[in-house]
Each structure stands twice: as C-alpha cells, then as structure tokens.
A and B are shown apart, each in its own frame.
Chain A
Amino acid sequence: MNQDVLDLARLQFALTAGGHFLFVALTLGLATVVAVLQTRATFSREPLHARMVRFWGQLYVINYAVGIVTGLVMEFQFGMAWSGLTHEAGNILGASLAVETIVAFFVESTFLGLWIFGWNRLNRWAHLAAIWIVVLTAYVSAYWILVSNGFLNHPVGYASEGGELVLDDPVAVLTNPSALLAFGHVLAGALLTAGFFMAGVSAYHLFRRTPEWEFFGRSLRIGIFLSAPALMAAAVFGGLQFGTLTTFQPMKSAVFSGKAAEIARIQAEMTDRFGPGDYVPSEAWTRGGGLVMLISFALMMYLCFAGVILACFKKVVFRFRLWHLVLMAAVPLPYLAMIGGWVFREAGRQPWVVYGLLRTEDAVSDLSPGTMRLSLTVFTTVFALLALLNAWLLARHARRGPVESGLGHDERPDAAAGGEGGAPPADPADALPAPRY
C-alpha cells in the first residue's frame, strides 16, 4: 500500500461521491414535487398547473441530466480505485449495487426518457404513470445505495469464509438500521433541498416583480410548506441515527463530543480487539462536518418557522421583498447540511471502510501514484465543470421563468393545426429507384 495512492484515492472518492450526492439531493426531492404537480394538473386540467409541471420539470431534467453522468463515474469507481473492497466485501456490497443498477437505475432512465420525449405523444395518464415510476425507482435506487453504505457503516448479516465476507442473513442486510435510518434522513433532506430551491427561485421572480406573480406565489408557498415538515422529518431521522452511534460507532460520537477520556478508553479497547493502530478519526472533519450540519439546521429551522407563518398571508408572499432576499440566500443551506452530515458520517468512521472488518488502507487498489493522480485530475476537473454547467443552466432557466419552449414543448409540425393528422410520411427508402444489377 502506498500512502500517496491512498490519499489520492480517498480524495477522489470524497470529491466525486460528494459532488454526486449534491446532484442527487435536488433530483430526488424535485422529482417528487414534479410528480405531485403533474398529478394535480392531470386531474384539474388547468393550464396554470400544467405550466408549473413544465417549468419545475425543466429544472429537474437539467439537474438530473448532469447528475446522471456523475453517477456513471461512481458506478465504476469501486472497481477502479477500491478493488480491495470488492475483493473482501464484494459478495454483499456488489449484490446491492447490482440490484440498484438493474432494478432501479435501468427502469428510472428508461421511463425518464419516455417522460421527456413522450410529452404530447403519450396518453396523459400513461405520461403521469411514467413520472411516478421515475420517482419510485429513484427512491428504490437511493435505498439500495444506502443498503451498501449501511453495510459499510454497520456490517450485519454476514459470515466470514476463508478471509472473505459472504452473505449469511439477507433480511438483516436489507433491514440494517444504519441503512433504513439513513434512507429516511436522506429522503427528508432531499425534499428539504427541493423545498428551499423552489422557494428561492420563486422569491427571485416575486422580488423582481415579474409578470408571473400568481405562478410564483403558489410555487413559493409549495416550497415553504414542503420544507417545514421535511426539516422535521430530517431532524427526527438524524436524531435516531445519532442515538444508534453509541452502540454502532462509539468512537465517532466520542470524537464529535470531544471527550478525551472517552476517546482514549475506546482507542485502548479497539487496540485490544484489532491489534495496534490509530482508531481515532480526523477530529477536524468529524466535528467540522457535524457542526456545519447542525448550524445549517438551526438556521433552516428559524427560516421554516417564520416562513410557515409568513406564507399564510397573501400580501406578504407577494410584497415582503426582504423575505424574498433571505429565501434566495437560503438556497445553499440544505446543500451545506447534506454535505456536512455526509462528511460526519463518512469521515467519522475512519480508519474503517467496512466498520470493524476492513481498513480503508487495505481496500485501495494496487495502482501507481501517477495513474491515481491522472484519474484524480481528470475526474475533479470534469466534476467541477459539470457543477458549473449545472449551476449556470439552472440559473439561466430559473431566471427565464415559464416560457413556451423547452421541456414539454409540442414539436410536432402539425400541432398548430390540431392533433396528429394523417399517416406518417412514407419511408424515403421506398422512393429510391430499384437496385440495378
């Protein structure tokens, strides 16, 4: 094992997984909102409702498209940089990743393509079903990823056979509390991200007094009334997870609370169990991540509390410009909380990649530092560019407001004439002269 390769591989994983996670946060939450909006529009047949689906759906698709390509790197990264992990724990980790790709991701992408390109072509109920399948498979996808991650944080349901972990109790793996609680927490966090995003974008239009005041007044209230319960749910699941730490990962909670005596005691205990080594994770990252999350949570709680009251008054929603500014500035808060919580979860369990079973340093691939440096440079550059592209495209389309183009625009040439008319054009291959021999 080469120290440089280990550090570079960890940095690459942290940057790419962290980047991917932030895309997913908005995608998962906004997909839910779009599906609910579309359900309402399908039943009510009101043009305003349909326009809301198209506007928020456009922002969702932009974010999804950039997010999906970051996910591709994640898919291959385990094998590329962490072959020790697939070697030791592949029997459990690999299976949940495999189910995720085929049962969830495959279905999600297929139906998302159908939803985007089938607009104005599919029956409206089939079109509604498509977005709901996308949302549900996105949840399934998140669940399977967290089953993998839950196993890394709190391995259950395994047996050891010839130095390799094998699956012993699949039900225990699937109902791992470390996976289920994290799933609830991430889902609530995703809805919170979407709520703050909607409120912020709507506040921009209300602040600028664009003509779409009714559209964005309604959207702002949806954002606020979604954020408040999502924040509560995220806090409940977060609290439950924190409670499990004292038994699952006592070192993490000791480092977070900064109890030196407790840290020394657990260090001695682990040395007895696993042999000599440093079992204390980085204090800066563990405590820093946790604090960033808690501070953002506190700020969001004040904002949600005030927001729920303010959003009850129509005049305030349309005219209180200082509040609009605050809401715009608050869009990054859920992102900060998400990334802070994730750093706390992942940095705080070091030096383990599979807690108590496999050390991170033993999981890294046998690569040369040059290769790893190349890979890190390429992926970091690409991810930074993708994040910029996403932010720019989102800002551009959010600023433009609902317009008659883009997602859901009827591109059929005869759409103006009313409905699809006539048979599809004849195959041009028929018009060619018969082959001469």
Chain B
Amino acid sequence: METLAIALLAFFTVGWFVLAGADIGTGMLALWLGRNDRERRLVLASFAPFFLGNEVWLVAAAGVLVGCFPALEGELLSGRLPVLVALLTGWILRDAGLWSRGRGPGSRWRAGCDAAVAGGSWIVALSWGWLLAAPLTGRPYAPATGPTAVLTALAVAALFAAHGLGFAALRLTGVPYERARRLVGRAGRPWQSFALTGVLLAALPLWAGSALPLAGRTASPATLGLLVPALLVVTPPLVAVQAWIWHAFRHRVTGPSYL
C-alpha cells in the first residue's frame, strides 16, 4: 500500500509537470509569440481546451499528499509557506487573466489580461524552481535561500519555457507558429524537442521526491487500505477521458476559442 501511495503521488505530480508545464510554458511566452491582440488570442487558444484539465493534476497531487501522507503534508506546506503563497498568487493571477480576457471591455483590458497570464505563468514556474531548490540545499522543510535557490528557480523556469515553446510549435499556425519554430530549430520534427523537455520535466519531481521521507510517513493502514484502492480504481477512467479530450482537440489551432 505504501509503495502504491507513493506511486500515485508520483503519477499525479509528473502528470502535472508534463501536461500543465506545456500550458504554463506557452503562457510564459505568450507576449513574445503573439505580438498583437489576434495573435495572442490564438496563442491562448492553443492550450485553452486543456488548461483546466491540466491544472487539476496538481490539485489531485495535493489531495494524494494530504490523504496518504497527512502529517508530512502539514510539515512540508507550513514550512514553505512563503513559496506557496507566491505559487498560489501566480496561479490565481494567471487563471484570472485567462478567464477574464474575453469577458471584459476593450483592447487595453485584453492587453492587461495577457500580461497577467504571462506574469502569472512566470511566477508559477519560478516558484516551482524555488520549491524544488529546497531538496538541493538539503533542507526540504524550509524555503531555499542563496544562489542555489536563484539558479534553480531560473533553470526550472527556463525548462518550463522550453517545454511551452515545443508545445506552441506543435499547436500553432501562422505567424506565432513561425516565431516558435524559428526558436525550436528546423532540424528534426517539432515533437522531438517537446518530448525531450517533457522527459526532463517528468524527472524533476521524481528526483526532488526521492529526497523526501515518504516511506514511513504514510497515513494509518486503515485509511490507506480504503483510500489507495479507491484512487487506483478511478484513476484509469479519468486518464482515459483526458486522453480523449487531447485527441478531440488534437488539430492545430487556426482560430480563437472562448478565452
């Protein structure tokens, strides 16, 4: 049960990094990929049908953490409260920008929302870097400080951006596509760079998680015995539905969406 609980946590965390990493990375580059209102709307449309389904992977990971490792969750989260405040603020800013962009008045409002999406995405990516720097410094329960923290934050953010760039090269058309493709490079197919950044992003949380004392900090056997099988049963259909959505919206975007 303990191993399965760890596997579930790893699965949802890796899922978030690979899937949401793509829309966060694209969001980080939104102002550069799209230079006017129309182009930016197209850039957002590239991940519009997926971002809501993507972000819940992190919510699910947090759920597994609190359900299967409750005491550890409390120590981890309260110890790094400042980093989480930054992460959540960036997340909220980004989502508020995405949802409100098409609902408010005028081009200034939309430009402001675009800036919120890009800024929020950067804050989320940098906060994750800051969060992951803690195991590097050997103190997983406190926010990392010093040059290690800064360098890790920047490196992780760059990886998110590269992942988003690969996603943009796979999803966009027209001028924003040309911009993304120029940076990805013309050698090989665009999915190759996306796959590479995906593997790197998947490795990040696994490597950081190996520094956590997960085994031995699980919830009591009575709880795990009910919770883990229940989660294992519902996870495959959930993944199947999400896979179907990716399939339904697999074509490159040529026009705007609801956002």
Contacts and interface: CB of A to CB of B under 8 A. Distances in A.
A105 B66 CA distance: 15
Contacts of A105: 56, 59-60, 63
A101 B103 CA distance: 28
Given A76-B84, A371-B82, A382-B89, A109 B52 contact: yes
B207 interface: no
Interface in B154-192: 169, 173, 177, 181, 186-190
Interface in A386-425: 386, 389, 393, 396-397, 406-407, 409, 411-413, 424-425
A46 interface: no
A61 to B, nearest CB: 8
Contact of A167 (B76, B84, B223, B234): B223
A372 B106 CA distance: 38
**A110, A371, A397 — most chain B CB neighbours (10 Å):** A110
A28 to B, nearest CB: 18
A72 B59 contact: yes
B254 to A, nearest CB: 6
B6 to A, nearest CB: 14
A238 B187 CA distance: 67
Interface of A: 62, 65-66, 68-69, 72-73, 75-76, 78-87, 90-95, 97-103, 105-107, 109-114, 116-119, 121-122, 161, 164, 166-168, 170, 365-367, 371, 374-375, 378-379, 382, 386, 389, 393, 396-397, 406-407, 409, 411-413, 424-425, 427-429, 432-433, 435
B226 A167 contact: yes
A411 B67 contact: no
B91 A72 contact: yes
Contacts of A413: 254-255
- How big is chain B's contact interface, by range? 35 or more
A117 B81 contact: no
Interface in B78-135: 78, 81-82, 84-85, 88-89, 91-92, 95-96, 99-100, 102-105
B63 A102 contact: yes
B88 A411 contact: no
A379 B173 contact: no
A110 B254 CA distance: 23
Nearest to A363: B74
